[in-house]
Chains A and B, each alone.
Chain A
C-alpha cells in the first residue's frame, strides 16, 4: 500500500469537503432537491426514494408472511392479500430495485468515467421525477379509486397482470388502471434515464478512458441501460394495449373476440426477462468492484467479464418463454427456450469463476462490503442453480407457479441484488457522504439480514417441492406446509430487523461516522481520486488515464498497470 507521503503529494490526502455543502434553511434545502439537475443529488433522490419504497414493499411482505404463517388464517382477507402481493412485487421491482440501479448509476458512473455530470442533466431530473411520480401514483391506489373490496383499489392481479383477469369483465374497479398508468409514467422515466446514462458513457469518458479501460461497474451499467432502452418499451406497449382495452373497448387479449391471452404473456415476458437482468447486472457490477479491491488484486479476466456481460445482454432477449413453459406451447418452442435458458447460464456462471479467480492468490479483507459480496457469491450460485432446474422444462412443469419459483427469484433479487446493493452502499457511502458506515452496526446488519434471508427463503424451496402454489391467501392443514411457512415468516421478521439496522446505520453514520477521506479502501478507480463527498464539479481537473486502474498507476509508479495490460 502506498505510503501517506506519496498520497499527500498526489493530492489524495484527507481533507475536508469543499465549501457549498453546509445546509441552509430547510426550505432552501428542499428547493435545491426539487430543482437540482446534479447527478449526485439526483442519485441521492433515487436512492432515498428507493429505500422509502423498500420499506413500503417490506411492510407488505410482512403482511403476506403473517397471513400465511399458519393455515386458515384471518389476518388479511383474500382481496387485501391479492393486493398485497401484487403491490409487493410491483413496488420492489419497479420502485425499489430499479431506483437502486438508477441511483447508483447516476451517482457513480460520471465519477468513474471522469465526467462532470450526465450528458443531459435536465432530462436526468425529468427521469427521476417521472419515475417517482409513477410510484406515488401507484400507491395512491390504496386511498383513491373505487375498489370493490378491501383497501381502496390497489392493483390485485399480480405484478405481471395476466390477461384476461385484467380485462374490465374480471377487474371492474380501477385497480388495474393504477398499475398500468403508474408504470407507463415511470417507464418513460426509466427509458429516458437509460438513454441518458448510455450517452454519458459513450460520449463523456475522460481522456484515455477507452471502453476497454472503463471500470466493470460502468460496463455493467452500460449493458443494463441498453436492456432498459430495448426491452422496457414492450411493457409500455402491452400496457398501452391494456389501457385501450379497458377504457376504449379495444380487443387485444379478449378471448371472446378471438384474442389471445397468451399474447399478453409473450409481450410481458419479452420485457420481463430482460428486466431481471436489468436488476442483476448492476449488482454484478458492484461485486466486480468490491471483490478486487478487498482481495487486493485486479479482476481476473476483465475482457471475458465484458464479453460475458454483453453475451448475457443479447441472450436475455431470447429466453423469455421459459416463464411460459406450462401454457401449452409446442415441443419445439419449449425445447428452444429451455436450450436458450441453459445457454445463458454459461456466461453467468463464468462470471462467478472470474470472481473466484480474483480472490485466489489475494489477501482478502473481510470489511463489510466484502462480507456482503461473499454472501452474494454463495447465494447467487444457489440462485443460478435453481434457475437451471427451472430451465429444464419438464422439471419446471412441476415447479412453475409454486413456492420453488418464489424461492428462486428471491434468491436472485434479495440474495443477489439486495446483497449487492448493501455491498455497494457500504463501499460507496464514504465517498458520497465523507463518513464511514459504522462497522459494528454493519456486522449486526449483515449477520441478522443473512440469517433472516435464509430462514425466509430456504424453506420455500421445499414448500414448492411439496406442492404449494403461489398467490394463495390461505391453505388447509395437513398439506405439509404449516411448519415451513412458520419458519419462513419468522425469517421475514428477522430480515426486517436486519434491514432496519441498515437504515439506522445510514442515518447514524451521516453525522457520527468516522471521517473517511478520499480513498478509505485504498481502491483504484477514478471516483476515489476526488474528495469525499465530491465537489459539485466532481474533479478539479478532469483526469487522464492510461489503464483500467488509474489510481493503482499513481500509487505504484514502479509497477503501473499500463505496462502489463
Chain B
C-alpha cells in the first residue's frame, strides 16, 4: 500500500496527474458506456482523493496554477543563485589551518557599489511579481459569469455543508453536484458562500483556491471543472471539534447526468408502505425539528436536509461511508462516529433504530 501511495505522490508532484486523469476519464467513460443504466450514462465515480494544487482540473485553478508556476520558478532561481553563493563561500573562504590564524583577512567594511548592485535586481523582481499578481487577482475577482452559469449557495454549519440551488429550488447537504464545463462551452458554477455560525473555509484544490465562509458576509467563488469525477475537499478554518470531519464532496457530472440528478432532487421520495413505521418514528422522535424531508412534516433547517439521504455516498459530511452499519451506529449515538457533532444521542431503542434506518435507506 505504501508503494502505491508513494507512486501516486511522486506522480502528483511531477505534475503528471493529467496522465491519471486521462486514464480515469477513459475508464469511466468506457464503464459508463457499457453500463446498463437505461436512459443516460452513469455518474463518473472516479474519486479524486489526491488533490494536488499543481494538477488543476478547473479554469480558476488553472489560472492560479500558472501564476504559481511563475513565482516558483523565480524563487527556485533565487534559491539556486543565493544558495550557490553561500555554498561557494563556506568552501572557498574556510579557515584551512593554523597558518590562517597568523593574520586576519582584509577588513572590508562594505561597498556602496556592490550594495546598490544587489538591491536593484530584487526591486525589479518585486515589480514584476506585483504586476503579475495584480493581474491574476483582477482576473479572478472580477470574473464575469456567462449567462449559462449554474448557481449554488453553500452555507457552512458546524460541521456540515448546506447547499441550495436557487435556480432549481433544490436543497441538499454535503454532496455538491455541479455540471461539467468545457473550454468551448463554458458552464461554470458560481458559488455564494455564507455561514450559519462560525467561520469556515471551502477548499477543493483541483477546482479553485479556498475562500472563507464568514457569518454576516457573502463571499463568492466559482468552479469550472473540465473533468468529471468526485472531488474531495476539506473545511479549512478551525470551526470546533469536528472541523477535521467537515469534508467536501464535489461531484462533477456530464450535463445530462447532472440534469437527471437535478430532476431526481426536485421530487420528493416515493412513500414506501413498508417504511411507514420508520417515517412515523422519525416524526415522533422530533427528528423533524432539525431535519427536513420533503413531502413529510419534517421541516427543520438546523441540520442536513435528508430528503435524498440514501443517494449520498457518505454520512456525517464524509466521516463514514453511508452503509447500514454506519447508519445504525449513527442512529445509536452520533457521538461515536463524530464526537462533538451537534446531533445529540437521541436515546432511541433498537426497534426505533431499525424502523428509522429502514426508512432512511429508502430516501433515494
Contact = CB atoms under 8 A, between A and B. Distances in A.
A293 to B, nearest CB: 11
Considering residues B89, B208, B233, which has the most beta carbons from chain A within 10 angstroms of its beta carbon? B89
Given A398-B64, A398-B68, A479-B232, A335 B75 contact: no
A338 interface: yes
B269 interface: no
Contacts of A334: 137, 141
Interface stretch (A126-134, A272-280, A465-473): A465-473
Contacts of A29: none
B25 to A, nearest CB: 19
Interface in B67-118: 67-68, 71-72, 74-75, 78-79, 82-83, 85-86, 89-90, 93-95, 100-101, 104-111, 114-115, 118
A301 B110 contact: yes
Contacts of B232: 479
A499 interface: no
Contacts of A296: 95, 104-105
Interface in B156-171: 158
Nearest to B75: A385
Nearest to A484: B9
A359 B211 CA distance: 45
Given A170-B197, A331-B141, A398-B53, A472 B243 contact: yes
A82 interface: yes
A55 B136 CA distance: 44
A164 B109 contact: no
Contacts of B118: 350, 353
Contact of A365 (B5, B95, B122, B233): B95
Considering residues A363, A374, A381, which has the most beta carbons from chain B within 10 angstroms of its beta carbon? A363
Contacts of A365: 95
Nearest to A350: B119
Contacts of A395: 64, 67-68, 71
Contacts of B109: 298, 300-302, 564-565
Contacts of B142: 331
Interface string B8-20: 1100110000000
Interface string B119-132: 10011001001101
Contact of A389 (B68, B140, B216): B68
Contact of B233 (A82, A381, A467, A474): A467
Contacts of A484: 9
A162 interface: yes
A364 B50 contact: no
B134 A335 contact: yes
B236 A401 contact: yes
Interface string A415-426: 000000000000
Contacts of A556: 104
Interface string A42-83: 000000000000000000000000000000000001110010
Interface in B243-264: 243-245, 247
B75 A389 contact: yes
B104 A346 contact: no
B362 interface: no
B105 A363 contact: yes
A97 B198 CA distance: 30
A239 interface: no
A394 B93 contact: no
Interface string B205-222: 100111110111101000
A125 B303 CA distance: 54
A28 B201 CA distance: 56
A326 B67 contact: no
Interface string A161-194: 0111100001000000000000000000000000
B104 A1 contact: yes
Contacts, number: 300
A343 interface: yes
A469 B68 contact: no
A78 B241 contact: yes
A472 B79 CA distance: 31
B352 interface: no
A385 B78 contact: yes
Interface string B38-67: 000000000101111110000001011001
Interface stretch (A114-122, A214-222, A253-261): A253-261
B155 to A, nearest CB: 13
B210 A397 contact: yes
A165 B89 CA distance: 50
B90 A302 contact: no
B30 interface: no
A475 B50 CA distance: 12
| Shortest 8 CB-CB contacts between residues of A and residues of B | A397-B209, A467-B51, A472-B244, A255-B215, A301-B110, A328-B219, A480-B50, A255-B216
27 contacts: A78-B340, A163-B199, A170-B158, A295-B105, A300-B111, A328-B193, A331-B138, A335-B133, A335-B137, A338-B137, A339-B133, A363-B93, A385-B75, A389-B75, A392-B71, A392-B133, A393-B136, A393-B137, A395-B71, A398-B61, A469-B203, A471-B244, A475-B244, A478-B47, A478-B50, A482-B5, A561-B107
Given A302-B110, A388-B74, A401-B201, 15 more contacts: A164-B198, A259-B216, A300-B109, A303-B110, A326-B210, A334-B137, A346-B119, A354-B115, A359-B86, A359-B89, A359-B90, A362-B105, A394-B68, A466-B9, A483-B9
Interface of B: 2, 5-6, 8-9, 12-13, 47, 49-54, 61, 63-64, 67-68, 71-72, 74-75, 78-79, 82-83, 85-86, 89-90, 93-95, 100-101, 104-111, 114-115, 118-119, 122-123, 126, 129-130, 132-134, 136-138, 140-142, 158, 193, 197-199, 201, 203, 205, 208-212, 214-217, 219, 232-245, 247, 318, 339-340
